[in-house]
């Protein structure tokens, strides 16, 4: 029996939802609705801490993709550091968001390994993505 296109799409969505692993318990918080300045401190506080640096994701002794995003180390672990998933790319390439692997992961750009981030059902808002892009393009300073 052949499945119709809509049934096939629904089956794929259900399969993906049941197949998600770490980080899927995270849902967008009120912090995700706050204004995010194009500064690392604001991005860390309002996006990374509540959405990425949580148990089961990018914290602890064995963080997902070997990427620890805890506040004390996030900057040094991301800026000018090669990606584990695509070692030919820097996670954050100052001045070049389009060629920064982490930025490409959050916009689901072609060529990423694995799934886009964050893994929750909503992703980041356009304003959050714009703040990250601006911060990177302005030199990815530790500000």
Residue 142 falls within a domain, yes or no? no
| Model confidence pLDDT, tens digit, residues 31-72 | 445 589 999 999 999 999 999 999 999 999 999 999 999 999
Question: Quick check: 100 pLDDT over 50?
Answer: yes
In angstroms, the CA 53 to CA 23 distance is: 10
Residue 19 falls within a domain, yes or no? yes
First to last CA, the chain: 58
Residue 66 falls within a domain, yes or no? yes
Q: Which residue has the tokens 């990606």?
A: 83
Number of structural domains found in the chain: 1
Give the residue among 68, 43, 54 at the shortest CA–CA distance from 125.
43
Mean of the pLDDT values across residues 81-94?
97
Residue 123 falls within a domain, yes or no? yes
Q: What is the pTM of this model?
A: 0.76
Residue 87 falls within a domain, yes or no? yes
- Report CA dihedral (137, 49, 56, 13) to the nearest 10 degrees: -60
Residue 143 falls within a domain, yes or no? no
Residue 20 falls within a domain, yes or no? yes
Domain of 73? 5-137
């Amino acid at each position: 029996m052949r499945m119709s296109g809509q049934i096939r799409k629904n089956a794929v969505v259900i399969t993906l939802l049941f197949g998600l692993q770490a980080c899927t318990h995270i849902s967008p918080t009120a912090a995700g609705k706050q204004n995010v300045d194009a500064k690392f401190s604001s991005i860390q506080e309002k996006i990374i801490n509540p959405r990425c640096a949580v148990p089961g994701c990018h914290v602890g002794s064995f963080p997902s993709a070997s990427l620890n995003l805890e506040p004390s180390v996030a900057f040094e672990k991301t800026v000018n550091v090669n990606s584990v998933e695509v070692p030919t790319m820097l996670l954050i390439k100052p001045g070049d968001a389009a060629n920064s692997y982490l930025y490409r992961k959050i916009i689901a750009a072609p060529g990423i390994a694995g799934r886009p981030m964050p893994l929750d059902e909503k992703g980041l808002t356009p304003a959050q993505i714009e703040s990250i892009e601006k911060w990177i393009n302005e030199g990815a300073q530790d500000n």
